Amino acid sequence: MILSIPDILPADALRRARERLETADWIDGRATAGHQGARVKNNRQLPVESPVAREVGTVLLQALARTPLFVSAALPLHILPPMFNSYSGGEQFGTHVDGSIRTIPGTDKRLRTDLSCTFFFAGPEEYDGGELIIEDTYGVKSVKLPAGHMVLYPSTSLHRVTPVTRGTRLCSFFWLQSMIREDTKRSLLFEMDVAIQRLGADTPGHPSVVQLTGVYHNLIRQWAEM
């Protein structure tokens, strides 16, 4: 499932975060790439230990925790601290797949990357190119979202970022381990959750809402890995 999640940060918070990012010290993005990624990666990135990255990352994670659509779709168990990249002047990231296991910085704890997240700080009108191209079982999808929006997609997907030929593409990217390992099961639970909420809104107090909610949570009990 590939899902766009709108308006995660309000305008004021988005503006303040972007101002902080634009004054930060950026490094060659290949410094944090794996063996395969380093061969096709050409961008700039904030160091993991950057105070700005930690500050803005905390703001972003707090906002996501308050976003029901994200929680319903991802069912997150562990989330890696957000990282940040910038593309301009023809920079791009060739086709690659994200590593399956990552270590949480500053710890010895490892995380399975079930879902990849890209949050957009710059709007599509600010740069040319820079589309996130995601390949999954349903074909190829091109993603270029408004500032403040995020795309969530399976980390098993091949993906790339096309060359940015005008302006600057400024984003956050990070990974999470879901309570539900399989994408098909997460998608079913998400569709059920959305349907339950619609039914509850259309027919308040309908007994089927309670019954279906019970089925939803019992499926999570069967499938969840904690």
Helix ranges (H only) for 39-180 are 51-65, 68-74
61 with 169, same domain? yes
Q: What is the pLDDT of residue 33?
A: 64
Dist. CA 73–CA 178, nearest whole Å: 10
Q: What is the pLDDT of residue 36?
A: 64
133 with 36, same domain? yes
68 with 173, same domain? yes
Please give the torsion angle defined by the CA atoms of residues 38, 42, 47 and 53, in that order, rounded to the nearest 10 degrees.
-130
173 with 109, same domain? yes
137 with 202, same domain? no
155 with 210, same domain? no
Q: Token digits for 177?
A: 């381990």
pLDDT in tens, the chain (226 residues): 999 999 999 999 999 999 999 999 999 988 766 666 667 999 999 999 999 999 999 999 999 999 999 999 999 999 999 999 999 999 999 999 999 999 999 899 999 999 999 999 999 999 999 999 999 887 999 999 999 999 999 999 999 999 999 999 999 999 999 999 999 999 999 999 999 999 999 999 999 999 999 999 999 999 999 8
172 with 213, same domain? no
Q: What is the pLDDT of residue 113?
A: 98
Question: What is the pTM (predicted TM-score) of this model?
Answer: 0.94
Q: What is the pLDDT of residue 185?
A: 98
**Tell me, what CATH number does 16's domain have?**
2.60.120.620
Dist. CA 22–CA 222, nearest whole Å: 45
Q: What is the pLDDT of residue 138?
A: 79
Total domains in the fold of the chain: 2
**Tell me, what CATH number does 219's domain have?**
4.10.860.20
131 with 168, same domain? yes
Domain, as residue range, for 46? 3-178
146 with 189, same domain? no
210 with 127, same domain? no
148 with 53, same domain? yes
- Those residues with Cβ within 8 angstroms of residue 161's Cβ, 6 or more apart along the chain or in another chain: 43, 87, 92, 93, 130, 131, 132, 133, 169
139 with 82, same domain? yes
Q: What is the pLDDT of residue 35?
A: 62
